[in-house]
Structure 1
Amino acid sequence: MKIKILPALAVGVLLLGACRGSSGKYEAINNSSSADSASVDSRAADTSTAVQTKLVKTADMRFKVKDVRQTSENISTLTAKYNGMVMHHQMQATNEGSQDTRLGTDSIMHISLFTMVADMTVNIPPNNLENFMNQVAQLGLYIDSRKMNIDDKSLEYLSSKLKTQNREELVKQQDKAKEDPSRLLVAKDDIVDRKINDLKTDKDVKYSTVVLSFYQSKTVIKEVVANEDTAAYQPSFFKRLVSSFSYGWSFFADLILGVANLWAFILAAIGLWILVKYYKRKNPALFRTIKS
């Protein structure tokens, strides 16, 4: 009886060992799959941490001021204070009309009506942007419009970086395989363009661009200038009449003096005339012969 029980116990032990072995293999497979999933999660975590925050801030403002010229100087001072830089500055005055009022024969009052506007583009570090905009707003009489935008270019920047790496690897492979030089040059130029765009993004992140437009009320300017019309400098009629009499007498006196300077010729002419008369009276036949 005992001999019959022994084979049954041996079979039971073998079945138990087989079950344990299969369970061990199942645990190993589970551990392997969990390790793979953990490695995938770690790669995803590495990718997420590799995303650099690239926030591009821009702002613009249009406002009215009391004095455009003074406001331009104040904005330049504020820009330097907040470690920024003026990139563009244009100031323009538009003449709305003018009028001349005669003050005398040699001067006129020139009255001009004009409007003055100015445009400025400045780069400001993003951390100082809000304070800078508030300081500029205090320079205006009132604000027409004010706007600030934040553009998140983090994913675009990461995408450009990864694509640049892919193209660099492709260029290395094509270079080793001695591909067509023209195609290789196109790929290299594309890499350069992407790197330049990335540098531009870095610059936009480092400095925020602020566009400012301001103006003042219409201004009236009065100034006394010389009269450019030469006809206005002519004397009046009575002054010219008196001047004519004076000039006529002066001309007559000059004529008398000129005649006086010719007295010798006048006496010679008179003497010659008397002599001719005398000979004509003494020898009338001679003069008749000359005439005939």
Structure 2
Amino acid sequence: MKTKLFLALLAGVLLLGACKGSNYEAIRDEKAVSKTDAALANADSTSLETTSTKLVKTADMRFKVKSVQQTGDAIAALTARSNGMVMHHQMQANIEKSEDIRISNDSVKRVSAFSTNADMTVRIPSDKLEDYMTEVAHMGMYVTMRKMDIEDRTLDYLSEKLKLKNRQELVAQQKQGKVIIKNPVNVMLLKDDMVDQQIGNMRTDAEVKYSTVTLSFYQSNTIVQETIANDDPSAYQLPFFKRLAIALSNGWALFIEFMLGMANIWVFIVLAVALWMLYRYYRRKHPAWFVSGIKS
């Protein structure tokens, strides 16, 4: 009986010690987590303070010029001097109205009214954007539209940066065996997200460094006169007497063809004549047959 009581007291003491040990480990883990969270919070605040402002600038301008081609060349040269790059350049001319004036049988003077315009997209260092826009505006006769937009992407940039850091830590723990991701597809998706975030931040850095400028310019309608060959086939006719000689020749050729055709069917012609003569003969010798046939 005493032995059973002693074993019961010993089991109680061991259970109490195990509970204290587990409580101690739990408290120690909570302190570690608290310290980790505090460190992350300090790191996040430090990242927020050290992250530079991410301002993305874009600009648009539409203006009228004297010569679209010369202005396009001047803008390209200015862009090169500003350490920029022309990303898109398109010039086109549309015929607004055209009229043909006949000056001879085979020549026509064509008078056309053209409208010419061009579109350009350039990338300029952001610190030179204002000066660049001012110089481009001076190239035109007048500006019909000019605007500039500034987008602050600082918080978006910081958000992607912190998300990338969290994913990198998760991947590191997965490699060390602290975290187990059972589905390999989830690992690949996680790594793809990390790549997308890195590329997104790199794209933001590039847009912050270089501003995108869209330029559209045009000129007054241009009148162009040119002498071209007449493209109407009916205008190209031979002289009258030559056409008459050709017509007589064609008539003789048709007559010859007709005679040849008749020669090819001479047997049928002879047979038809013989039948007609036979009909006339019987009608003259036996008129009663034909009269009775008509009466019946």
Q: Same fold (TM over 0.5)?
A: yes
Paired residue type of 2:143? I
Q: Which residue of 1 aligns with 2:216?
A: 213
CA distance 1:56–1:244, change in 2 (3 Å):
closer
Q: Which residue of 1 aligns with 2:36?
A: none
Distance 2:226 2:57 in 1: 46
Q: Establish whether residue 104 from structure 1 lines up as the match of residue 104 from structure 2.
A: yes
Deviations 1:67-101 (A, max 9, x none): 11111111101100111000011112222221111
Distance 1:209 1:41 in 2: 36
CA distance 1:203–1:92, change in 2 (3 Å):
same
Distance 1:122 1:41 in 2: 41
Distance 2:124 2:54 in 1: 16
Q: 1:204 aligns with which of 203, 207, 211?
A: 207
Q: Which residue of 1 aligns with 2:61?
A: 61
Distance 1:140 1:222 in 2: 27
Alpha-carbon contact 2:48-2:158 (below 8 Å) kept: no
Q: Which residue of 1 aligns with 2:196?
A: 193
Distance 2:230 2:43 in 1: 85
Structure 1: segments with no counterpart, 5+ residues: 1-38, 252-292
Alpha-carbon contact 2:65-2:139 (below 8 Å) kept: yes
Q: Establish whether residue 147 from structure 1 lines up as the match of residue 150 from structure 2.
A: no
Paired residue type of 1:57? K
Q: Which residue of 2 aligns with 1:254?
A: none
Distance 2:188 2:135 in 1: 50
Distance 2:203 2:42 in 1: 31
The residue correspondences of 1:132-281 to structure 2 (distance < 5 A) are 132-175=132-175, 176=177, 177-179=179-181, 180-237=183-240
CA distance 1:48–1:230, change in 2 (3 Å):
closer
Task: Quote the offset at 1:233 in angstroms.
Answer: 3.0
Give the match's secondary structure for 1:194. Answer: helix
Percent identity of paired positions between Structure 1 and Structure 2: 51
Deviations 1:118-158 (A, max 9, x none): 11000000111111101110111111110112222222212
Distance 2:86 2:242 in 1: 63
Q: Which residue of 1 aligns with 2:292?
A: none
Alpha-carbon contact 1:51-1:155 (below 8 Å) kept: no
Q: Which residue of 1 aligns with 2:264?
A: none
Give the match's secondary structure for 1:71. Answer: helix
Give the match's secondary structure for 1:163. Answer: helix
Deviations 1:99-121 (A, max 9, x none): 11101122100111221111100
Distance 2:128 2:149 in 1: 15
Give the match's secondary structure for 1:187. Answer: helix
Give the match's secondary structure for 1:221. Answer: strand
Q: Give the TM-score of the pair, scaled to structure 1.
A: 0.65
Deviations 1:219-261 (A, max 9, x none): 22111011223432324436756x779x98xx9xxxxxxxxxx
Distance 2:48 2:191 in 1: 28
Distance 1:189 1:152 in 2: 26
Q: Which residue of 2 aligns with 1:77?
A: 77
May I ask how many residue pairs the two structures share in their alignment? Answer: 209
My pick for the range that moved more, 101-110 or 227-236, is 227-236
Q: Which residue of 1 aligns with 2:116?
A: 116
Give the match's secondary structure for 2:231. Answer: coil
Larger radius of gyration: 1
Give the match's secondary structure for 1:220. Answer: strand
Q: Give the TM-score of the pair, scaled to structure 2.
A: 0.64
Structure 2: segments with no counterpart, 5+ residues: 1-38, 253-296
Distance 2:41 2:160 in 1: 23
Paired residue type of 1:53? T
Give the match's secondary structure for 2:139. Answer: coil
CA distance 1:109–1:64, change in 2 (3 Å):
same
